[in-house]
Amino acid sequence: MDVPLALPAMTEKMRSEADRVLNDEFFLRGETVGTFESEFAKFVEAEHAVAVSSGTQAIHLSLKAAGIGEGDTVITTPATFIATANSIQRTGAEVKFVDVDLDTYTIDLEKLETAVEEIENLSAIIPVDLYGYPVDIEKIRNIAPDATIISDACQAHGASIRGKKVGTMADLTAFSFYPSKNMTVGGDGGMITTNSRELSEAARSFADVGRSIGEGEYEHERIGYTARMDTYKAAIGKEQLKHLPEWNERRTDIAEKYTSAFDTLDEVDLPPSGNEEITPAWYFYVIRTNRRDELSEYLENKGIETGVHYPTPVHLQPPYRDLGYEEGDFPRSEQWANEVLSLPVHPHLTDEQVNHVISNVNSFFN
Ligand SMILES: Cc1ncc(COP(=O)(O)O)c(C=O)c1O
């Protein structure tokens, strides 16, 4: 039996909508981009949404919209996909890392508090909702009331805290539609959500060659980028979004099955599974074990695809080593990179596939 780690859905309706807009609308800035933005904004209960070309651009343009650049310092964690840190570097601001909390796989709040006290020119913080586990933005705000908070929710579409969806608690929130994510647009894509009109207009302008919003086509008020979402991708995205709640529910069901099946395994640390306040949007089911590579090979031989997200913490990637970071700087993130293994939790798994994963993880450890 083969069990893929991710399986992006592409229904007939998604294909026909993509086809329809390719015939009826301009390839860029078509009406359907606006429809997808409004529906996504409605889903996360945000006042504004701006569709962009990738999750990386969603983070980068959020920083630009917030006026972050040279002379600023932005905090994030090295336990993330490298794009989070790259987006900061590309603005000219300086990235400062804060280690991860292994219980939540998100930024360590105590260490964040110390960092905030120490950094003089702190402008922004980018917490990462890794594997769909949302960071409590209220806590970050209490720690750093003056910093702009940009949530990297690239893996957390539909997660919520105290009943409120991820998407409005931070000043700006960035989502990715990369094909393995909980929803996609049939290729690269991203979304920025915010309750601030000013920030949304600045982000939209940056994504659209710096165009002035509501002015003539060749009026440009800033140096912008070409980072818009294609119309056909928005057509696919708006159909994907309709399925997201039901897909996330299935992900949760599978995660709960894994948690009860693996609870007694001594050699395994289980992922945070949420509580009465926190509802994750399971992206992968990520366990930690110091027999990670052995387990991954064992499962591969049983047809089960696993992944390591991510094998190198960002501070030890070459461009960040060049900034002076070295081994030992963020021990928890280094441990995280050595121990994590992502198990499939996508909604298209059959019960038989889920049971196949459970019985093989159990047989490996027993
Ligand atoms: C945590 C995180 N941040 C940023 C990104 C960047 O998104 P994209 O690949 O759409 O540029 C991703 C996705 O790959 C991600 O998982």
User: Which of 52, 53, 56 best tests ligand 1's pocket when mutated (most atoms within 8 Å of CB)?
Assistant: 56
The torsion angle over the Cα atoms of residues 32, 34, 37 and 41, rounded to 10 degrees, is: -130
Contacting residues for 106 by C-beta, under 8 A, at least 6 apart = 77, 100, 127, 128, 129, 130, 133, 135
Residue 343 amino acid letter: L
Give tens-digit pLDDT for 37-51: 999 999 999 999 999
Ligand 1 centroid from CA 83, angstroms: 6
CB-count burial class (<10 Å; 0-12, 13-18, 19+) for 259: middle
Q: Is the CB of 154 under 6 A from ligand 1?
A: yes
Q: Is the CB of 190 under 6 A from ligand 1?
A: yes
Structure tokens at 80: 């993330």
> Counting atoms of ligand 1 from 1, which one is nearest the CA of 129?
1
Give tens-digit pLDDT for 224-244: 999 999 999 999 999 999 999
Residue 213 amino acid letter: I
| Cα radius of gyration (the chain) | 20
CB-count burial class (<10 Å; 0-12, 13-18, 19+) for 71: exposed
**pLDDT tens-place values along the chain, 366 residues long:** 999 999 999 999 999 999 999 999 999 999 999 999 999 999 999 999 999 999 999 999 999 999 999 999 999 999 999 999 999 999 999 999 999 999 999 999 999 999 999 999 999 999 999 999 999 999 999 999 999 999 999 999 999 999 999 999 999 999 999 999 999 999 999 999 999 999 999 999 999 999 998 888 999 999 999 999 999 999 999 999 999 999 999 999 999 999 999 999 999 999 999 999 999 999 999 999 999 999 999 999 999 999 999 999 999 999 999 999 999 999 999 999 999 999 999 999 999 999 999 999 999 999
Q: Is the CB of 274 under 6 A from ligand 1?
A: no
State pTM to two decimals.
Answer: 0.98
Q: Give start-end residues of each CATH 3.90.1150.10 domain in the chain.
A: 244-365
Decide the pairing of beta strands 190-194 and 48-52: antiparallel
> Counting atoms of ligand 1 from 1, which one is nearest the CA of 189?
10
Ligand 1 centroid from CA 260, angstroms: 30
Residue closest to 44 by CA, chosen among 103, 129, 146: 129
Domain 12-239 sits in CATH at 3.40.640.10
CATH class of 244-365: alpha beta
**What is the per-residue DSSP string for 149-192?**
EEEE-TT-TT-EETTEETTSSSSEEEEE--TTSSS--SSS-EEE
Q: Is the CB of 248 under 6 A from ligand 1?
A: no
Residue 147 amino acid letter: A
Q: Give start-end residues of each CATH 3.40.640.10 domain in the chain.
A: 12-239
Q: Is the CB of 132 under 6 A from ligand 1?
A: no
Ligand 1 centroid from CA 154, angstroms: 5
Ligand 1 centroid from CA 227, angstroms: 15
Residue nearest to atom 10 of ligand 1 (CA): 55
Q: Are 141 and 168 in contact (CB under 8 A)?
A: no
Whole-number pLDDT of residue 292: 98
Decide the pairing of beta strands 48-52 and 73-76: unpaired
Whole-number pLDDT of residue 214: 87
Q: Are 45 and 215 in contact (CB under 8 A)?
A: no
Q: Is the CB of 342 under 6 A from ligand 1?
A: no
| CA 364 to each of CA 149, 259, 357: distance values in angstroms, whole numbers, following the listed order | 42, 16, 11
DSSP 226: B
Q: Are 231 and 37 in contact (CB under 8 A)?
A: no
